Amino acid sequence: MDVIPAIDLLEGRCVRLYQGDYDQAQTFNDDPVAVAQQWEDQGATWLHLVDLDGAKTGQPTNHKIIEAIVNAVNIPVQVGGGLRSRDTVATLLNLGVNRAILGTVAVENPQLVAELCQEFPKQIVVGIDARDGKVATRGWLETSEVLATELADQMAQLGASAIIYTDIHRDGTLQGPNKAALREVASEVAIPVIASGGISSVTDLLSLLSLEPLGVTGAIVGRALYTGDVDLKEAIQAVGWGRLQDIPPDFGGSALA
């Protein structure tokens, strides 16, 4: 299971929101490129970038920063936020982004998702952000009547390479992942599912290993990395040992308590 650091971009800064609330944005760093290099140095194998400005307005605005990050690191990068047309997806991929994450458009225009999956095979991921099991759209500002499990199944059939499932009630709260919801989504599809939202400790990451046989292949970690609740290098090592069921009893100190 990959431990994937999140870098959320808002007005050029690295921030974290609380439950998707733009009025509760906390700035952690004014230099997202330096943050990206830091996570790579600590062993990250992927980076997860979100253009929060784009998610809110429907028009990505952080292309220059995203391009700078792509050029500064040697690991693959996936990006979401405001990707609601073929041109915005193509522009990002042309910058060197490895995977484009579609959210709102998956609900509002599934035919476009199908076309993009065909044009850019293995480069289209669908982000499903849910409140109480129902999909939220437009930067989490609206909630649809579409069930997350139904959308996951539809997107898998259309050719999405993976699903990123975010429980909005857990996002930015450090309350732990919603394993029940992840289990439901992963049971619906035969493509990888990446967990997002609420991860607060190495213990939370290790708990997700029980879902790996169902297809939960990664976990995105945001606020916990920036607050120091999770040390990325230790977390990656712990997950590796956990998969082998060989976690040293003293590993990570209080992080495993």
If we measure between CA atoms, which residue out of 2, 40, 5, 39 comes closest to residue 243? 2
pLDDT tens-digit series, residues 131-169: 888 888 765 566 778 899 999 999 999 999 999 998 886
**Distance from C-alpha of 147 to C-alpha of 107, rounded to nearest angstrom:** 10
Q: What is the pLDDT of residue 27?
A: 74
Which one, of 120, 94, 18, 63, lies nearest residue 102 by Cα? 120
- CATH superfamily membership of 2-256: Aldolase class I (3.20.20.70)
pLDDT, position 132? 82
| Predicted local confidence at residue 20, as pLDDT | 58
Concatenated DSSP letters of 133-178: TEEEETTTTEEEEEEHHHHHHHHHHHT-SEEEEEETTTTTTTS---
> Which ranges of the chain have pLDDT less than 70?
18-25, 138-142, 169-174, 244-257
pLDDT of 91 reads 95
Q: Catalytic positions, please?
A: 8, 129
Q: What is the pTM of this model?
A: 0.88
User: Does residue 130 contact residue 168 with C-beta atoms inside 8 Å?
Assistant: yes
Report whether 73 contacts 80 (CB < 8 A).
no
Give the span between the Cα atoms of 160 and 70, in whole angstroms.
22
Q: How far apart are CA 174 and CA 202, in angstroms?
A: 12
pLDDT at 54: 82
Please report the pLDDT score of residue 255 as a whole number. 37
